[in-house]
């Protein structure tokens, strides 16, 4: 086994963008716990998906600082990056269905925002830039095989196209300007604090209030699920020990057709399967994702630790115990989105 050591080692001041969202908030918690001498700045625009409640426990930590702002605001990031040695870029519009309803915001944040952040990172001689990407940039698989880091990019949704464009900009900043860039591409995440527009929290939220569970198409699309904490440990490994210019796939070898996930959730909540409602398919719906993460294992000694049944059980439990969180995020803008997305379908 080769563990590649990066000369950067640990970083003293890390800018995490999008840290008020689902995965970013777990990553900040991991950093504060595991790297207590590092300072962490969270830059987040607080869109509908950003929620400072996700990091309530970090607020009093003197090593943590929150700044509200846009990754595309050069003036702001120039100030912040003059004092930072690594950037971990989570900030993004992240939901495929929203990218179908309105792609513009995805272009603005995921592509233009990332390019500006790369540019300011280059100007400030940031030591490392980690781009948090997705397996969706590889497109859709047939019944066999899994994405490797060498699979050609073939994104199919405005979301995945915008993430692929950002990956290519990262590659270009590495090759042209010698910026130290690493890219992670992870499969579907689940866990506490995920916004209930994504499959697992949406189904938990609807099932517990006896609302229909909208399953797209035949329900046989396959996703490869990983617990958010396993993903975050993978990102930290790449940040500290990944090789500059390289891409790392992160996944858990855990493929499930959507309908089986939905049935598992109903079963856990002791709700009837009659709540399942097959609805019109998502346009351009990718059939199957599966990720080969052997490079993470072989080169960085990283492996997922959380068993899916246990992780799902605890996630459901978290949503049951955090009813107030769920109620707050499913009011206002969410209700309008839900109506546009699911009525007449
Ligand atoms: P999320 O939607 O929960 O959070 C995104 C965060 O980014 C929010 O806090 C939002 O306020 C912030 N943000 C949006 N636009 C911004 C801007 N212009 N400037 C600053 N902040 C901004 O998303 P997530 O699920 O936590 O995903 C985080 C990252 O991981 C994304 O880049 C996504 O593409 C990637 N990813 C997600 C998954 C998944 O399953 N959720 C899987 C692989 C990769
Ligand atoms: P999602 O959580 O949106 O993640 P992604 O599209 O990025 O993989 O969806 C996961 C799968 O669940 C995907 O195949 C679409 C499907 N899905 C439904 O069937 N119904 C829903 O209401 C949602 C949100 C998703």
The atom number, within ligand 1, closest to the CA of 20 reads 9
Model pLDDT for residues 125-179, shown as the tens digit of each residue: 999 999 999 999 999 999 999 999 999 999 999 999 999 999 999 999 999 999 9
List the structure tokens of 180. Answer: 């130290």
Query: Do β-strands 255-257 and 222-224 pair in parallel, antiparallel, or remain unpaired?
Result: antiparallel
Task: Indicate the range of 115-119, 258-262, 338-342 predicted with least confidence.
Answer: 338-342
Which has the closest alpha carbon to 65: 30, 38, 94, 33? 38
Ligand 1 centroid vs 112 CA: distance in angstroms?
15
pLDDT at 10: 81
Residues marked as catalytic = 135-136, 159
Residue 325 lies in a domain: no
Ligand nearest to the CA of 52: 1
Which has the closest alpha carbon to 75: 119, 111, 129? 119
Number of domains in the chain: 1
Q: How far apart are CA 112 and CA 248, in angstroms?
A: 23
pLDDT at 2: 45
| CB of residue 337 inside a 6 A radius of ligand 2 | no
Task: Indicate the range of 1-10, 177-186, 218-227, 334-343 predicted with least confidence.
Answer: 1-10
Collapsing DSSP to helix, strand or coil, 30 comes out as helix
338 versus 27: the higher-pLDDT residue is: 27
Residue 264 lies in a domain: no
Please choose from 15, 27, 49 the residue to mutate so as to test ligand 1's pocket, defined by most ligand atoms within 8 A of CB: 49
CATH number for the domain that contains residue 98: 3.40.50.720
Phi, psi (degrees; rounded to nearest 5) at 238:
-70, -40
Residue 52 lies in a domain: yes
Cβ neighbourhood burial of 254 (10 Å; 0-12, 13-18, 19+): buried
Please choose from 22, 94, 187, 198 the residue to mutate so as to test ligand 2's pocket, defined by most ligand atoms within 8 A of CB: 198
pLDDT at 335: 85
Residue 286 lies in a domain: no
**15 pairs with which residues across the strands?**
41, 87
Over residues 195-223, the mean pLDDT reads 97
Closest residue CA from atom 28 of ligand 1: 90
Closest residue CA from atom 9 of ligand 2: 199
pLDDT at 337: 86
The atom number, within ligand 2, closest to the CA of 159 reads 7
Collapsing DSSP to helix, strand or coil, 286 comes out as coil
| CB of residue 223 inside a 6 A radius of ligand 2 | yes
For residue 274, what are the CA distances in angstroms to 157, 210, 211, 277? 31, 10, 10, 8
Over residues 13-26, the mean pLDDT reads 98
Check whether 85 has a pLDDT greater than 70: yes
pLDDT at 4: 42
Q: 36 and 332 in contact (C-beta within 8 Å)?
A: no
| CB of residue 157 inside a 6 A radius of ligand 2 | no
Ligand 2 centroid vs 80 CA: distance in angstroms?
35
Q: What percent of the chain has pLDDT over 90?
A: 92
Q: 159 and 96 in contact (C-beta within 8 Å)?
A: yes
Over residues 66-89, the mean pLDDT reads 97
Which has the closest alpha carbon to 113: 53, 42, 45, 38? 45
Residue 132 lies in a domain: yes
**Long-range contact list for 271-274, CB < 8 A, 24+ apart?**
271/207, 271/208, 271/210
pLDDT bin (cut points 50, 70, 90) of residue 90 is very high
List the structure tokens of 223. Answer: 């996703």
pLDDT bin (cut points 50, 70, 90) of residue 262 is very high
Over residues 62-78, the mean pLDDT reads 98
pLDDT at 1: 43
The parent domain of residue 145 ranges over 13-190+226-250
Average predicted confidence (pLDDT) for the chain? 96
Residue 297 lies in a domain: no
Q: CB within 6 Å of ligand 1 — which residues? A: 17-18, 20-24, 43-47, 49-50, 70-72, 90-92, 94, 109, 113, 132, 134, 163, 186, 188-189, 195
Which has the closest alpha carbon to 291: 154, 160, 165, 139? 139
pLDDT bin (cut points 50, 70, 90) of residue 64 is very high
Over residues 26-54, the mean pLDDT reads 97
Which residues, 6 or more positions from 42, have their beta carbon under 8 angstroms from its beta carbon? Answer: 16, 17, 19, 20, 24, 28, 55, 64, 65, 66, 67
For tokens 């490079």, name the residue. Answer: 295
| CB of residue 216 inside a 6 A radius of ligand 2 | yes
Over residues 54-70, the mean pLDDT reads 96
| CB of residue 118 inside a 6 A radius of ligand 2 | no
Residue 239 lies in a domain: yes
Residue 217 lies in a domain: no
Q: Where are the alpha helices (DSSP H) in 71-220?
A: 74-81, 96-101, 104-106, 114-123, 158-177, 199-208
Phi, psi (degrees; rounded to nearest 5) at 141:
-105, 155
Ligand 1 centroid vs 93 CA: distance in angstroms?
6
């Amino acid at each position: 086994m080769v563990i590649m050591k990066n000369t950067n080692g640990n970083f003293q001041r890390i800018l995490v963008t999008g840290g008020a969202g689902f995965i970013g908030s777990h990553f900040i918690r991991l950093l504060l716990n595991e790297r207590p001498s590092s300072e962490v700045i969270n830059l987040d625009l607080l869109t509908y998906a950003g929620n400072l409640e996700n990091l309530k426990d970090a607020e009093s930590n003197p090593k943590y600082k929150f700044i509200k702002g846009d990754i595309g605001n050069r003036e702001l990031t120039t100030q912040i990056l003059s004092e930072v040695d690594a950037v971990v870029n989570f900030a993004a519009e992240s939901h495929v269905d929203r990218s179908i309803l309105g792609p513009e915001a995805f272009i603005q944040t995921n592509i233009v925002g990332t390019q500006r952040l790369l540019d300011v990172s280059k100007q400030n001689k940031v030591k490392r830039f980690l781009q948090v990407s997705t397996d969706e940039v590889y497109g859709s698989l047939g019944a066999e095989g899994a994405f490797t880091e060498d699979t050609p990019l073939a994104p199919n949704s405005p979301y995945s196209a915008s993430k692929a464009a950002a990956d290519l900009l990262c590659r270009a900043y590495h090759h042209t300007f010698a910026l130290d860039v690493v890219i992670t591409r992870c499969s579907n995440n689940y866990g506490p604090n995920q916004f209930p527009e994504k499959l697992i929290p949406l189904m938990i939220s609807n099932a517990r209030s006896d609302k229909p569970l909208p399953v797209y198409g035949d329900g046989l699309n396959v996703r490869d699920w990983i617990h958010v904490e396993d993903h975050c440990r993978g990102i930290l490994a790449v940040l500290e020990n990944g090789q500059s210019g390289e891409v790392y796939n992160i996944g858990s070898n855990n493929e499930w057709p959507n309908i089986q996930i939905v049935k598992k959730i109903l079963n856990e909540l002791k709700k009837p399967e009659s709540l399942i409602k097959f609805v019109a398919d998502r346009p351009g719906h990718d059939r199957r994702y599966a990720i080969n993460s052997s490079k993470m294992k072989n080169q960085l000694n990283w492996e997922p630790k959380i068993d899916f049944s246990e992780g799902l059980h605890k996630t459901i439990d978290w949503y049951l115990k955090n009813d107030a969180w769920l109620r707050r995020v499913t009011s206002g803008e969410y209700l309008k989105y839900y109506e546009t997305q699911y009525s007449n379908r």
